[in-house]
Amino acid sequence: MSEVPEAIRAAYDPERFRADGHRLIDALADQLAAWHAREGLAVPWRPPAEARAAWAAEGLEHGELVADLMKVARASTALAHPRVMAHQVPPPLPGAALAELVAAMLNNGMAVAEMGPAAVPIELAVIDWMCGALGLPAGAGGVLTSGGSLGNLTALLAMRQAHAGFDVWKEGAHAGPPLAVIVSSDAHYSIARTLRIMGWGDGGAISAQVDAEHRLTAAAVERALDAATGSGRRVIGIVASAGSTATGAFDPLSELADLAQARQLWLHVDAAHGGGVALSATHRHLLAGIERADSVVWDAHKLLMMPALVTAVLFKRGGHAFEAFAQQASYLFAATTPAETWWDLGQKTLECTKRAMAVELWTALRVHGAGWFGQVIDRQIALAHGLAARLRVAGFEVPLAPTSNIVCYRHVPAGVTGPALDAHNRALRTQVLEDGRFYIVGTQLPGGFHLRSTIMNPLIEERDLDDLVAHLVELGARCRS
């Protein structure tokens, strides 16, 4: 057999990796320091067609690794910049990014324990810790997966298998009556998408109207259940939110758990955003009752400051984790039952070659401790309250006092109402994006289009809040001129 070609050997050369790694970490550290110093733009915005043409013109050959990677970094949304206050995505802990580098180098899949001899038991330990942090009872369990959308799908598939009244995996989705769940009118779009993927159609999600604080109450669920009577569908669950995407609202989980128990319904809590509040002594009460949920989704890539994507799907009864994907793959699991090979995570998730996503959270907990995350979350929520107060003083409409780290608001020039007010705030949001010094987003609420800021960066200071409000006032006046 011929020798390994020099080009292949050079690409895998440890010394080349060492040299490139040192240069890259130095360059990234310098860029991180610049972002922390508020240098440069928060969003280096370019119109999509222009950006596509520019990157296409770079070609796909003759690149230089470190220079190319830093070019990408400088052209990207700078989540580490304290003036990014937009989506529910954090500036990841630098140490977690290093942990992900190690996981990427190892590239151990997670379907079977023998492929991930360190990563699999680490994930099991992290899952146990997350169950404990939420107060789930002994016997709880779950799995990590790639994102809240896949997490919600996993949880609701387990709900269907447990509560449908027939074996969907063996008999098919139409072997029984049409099924449905009660969802909040503010539920994340991934819930409706999940139900359609499951074959339930539009009628699979029966919407219950949120209250004035954008919470799904037991009374609203009762009304939705009554309205569903005679629809031909059998309601088998309730989907609640703990930190909704639109407003950050937390549903009253204890009263929903009481109702679910009384009606023998599955209670699923989408705590993708708000699950981290469990680590805050100040705000932990927002999750009261979550320990009674049948399933919970919790994103570590939100309030736990991990790189995306790291989502936990947790079950009050750990055995339900095996029911979402109740099938066998003989080349992986042979003829065993889940109880016999509980360590093989591929039985619990749609993913097979799943990356070792627990490693970064495990290392962060070991280095910083759970209390550190509580401090971060308390600071994020306090900054959100500070922003809301400043906006009110400046004459902005803030329809809801922030419950978590999300603030919804709108600029209200004198005499501008209705559709014109929506158009004005959309134009203002576009102005902020194109200017690039700050980054905010928008959301549609029952009262109209609102601007929206999520405080994810714990390095934000009060001066950043002051400067954002002044920036919005200035651009708002420009939109009206």
Last residue of a domain, one of 343, 368, 393: 368
User: What's the mean pLDDT in 186-198?
Assistant: 83
Both 357 and 383 in one domain: the answer is: no
List pLDDT tens digits, range 268-306. 999 999 999 999 999 999 999 999 999 999 999 999 999
pLDDT grade for 341, boundaries at 50, 70 and 90: low
Residue 330: predicted pLDDT: 35
3-state secondary structure of 59: coil
Task: Determine if the peptide bond prior to 459 is cis (ω within 30°).
Answer: no
Range of the structural domain that residue 333 is part of = 108-368
Q: List the one residue out of 250, 275, 302, 330 whose CA is nearest residue 136.
A: 275
Average pLDDT over the chain reads 92
3-state secondary structure of 232: coil
Q: How many domains does the chain have?
A: 2
DSSP letters for 71-116: HHHHTS--TTSTTB--SS-----HHHHHHHHHHHHH---SSSTTT-
User: What's the mean pLDDT in 434-462?
Assistant: 97
Both 195 and 327 in one domain: the answer is: yes
- The reply to whether 248 falls in a domain is yes
pLDDT grade for 332, boundaries at 50, 70 and 90: very low
Both 303 and 417 in one domain: the answer is: no
- The reply to whether 227 falls in a domain is yes
- Whichever domain contains 292, its CATH number is 3.40.640.10
User: What's the mean pLDDT in 67-90?
Assistant: 97
Report d(CA 329, CA 349) in Å as an integer.
13
The pLDDT of residue 342 is above 80: no
List pLDDT tens digits, range 32-78. 999 999 999 999 999 999 999 999 999 999 999 999 999 999 999 99
Residue 379: predicted pLDDT: 98
- The reply to whether 11 falls in a domain is no
pLDDT grade for 338, boundaries at 50, 70 and 90: low
Both 343 and 390 in one domain: the answer is: no
Last residue of a domain, one of 368, 394, 417: 368
Last residue of a domain, one of 368, 390, 420: 368
User: Do you know the residue count of the chain?
Assistant: 481
Q: Please, are residues 248 and 270 in contact by the beta-carbon 8 Å criterion?
A: no
Both 363 and 476 in one domain: the answer is: no
Percent with pLDDT over 90 in the chain: 78
Report d(CA 361, CA 457) in Å as an integer.
18
- The reply to whether 2 falls in a domain is no
pLDDT grade for 328, boundaries at 50, 70 and 90: very low
The pLDDT of residue 362 is above 60: yes
Residue corresponding to tokens 């200071």: 461
- The reply to whether 27 falls in a domain is no
- The reply to whether 18 falls in a domain is no
- The reply to whether 184 falls in a domain is yes
Both 129 and 251 in one domain: the answer is: yes
Q: Please, are residues 271 and 284 in contact by the beta-carbon 8 Å criterion?
A: no
Both 351 and 469 in one domain: the answer is: no
Both 314 and 191 in one domain: the answer is: yes
User: What's the mean pLDDT in 396-423?
Assistant: 96
List pLDDT tens digits, range 119-133. 989 999 999 999 999
Both 409 and 460 in one domain: the answer is: yes
Residue 325: predicted pLDDT: 74
Residues 85-104, buried b or exposed e (16+ Cβ, 10 A)? Answer: bbbbbbbbbeebeebbeebe
DSSP letters for 287-334: GTTGGG-SEEEEETTSTT-PPS--EEEEESSGGGGGTTT----HHHHT
User: What's the mean pLDDT in 401-422?
Assistant: 96
Residue 346: predicted pLDDT: 67
* Residue 245, amino acid: T
Both 192 and 290 in one domain: the answer is: yes
Q: Please, are residues 238 and 182 in contact by the beta-carbon 8 Å criterion?
A: yes
Both 293 and 435 in one domain: the answer is: no
The pLDDT of residue 329 is above 50: no
Residue 17: predicted pLDDT: 97
- Whichever domain contains 382, its CATH number is 3.90.1150.10
- The reply to whether 73 falls in a domain is no
pTM of structure: 0.94
Both 374 and 475 in one domain: the answer is: yes
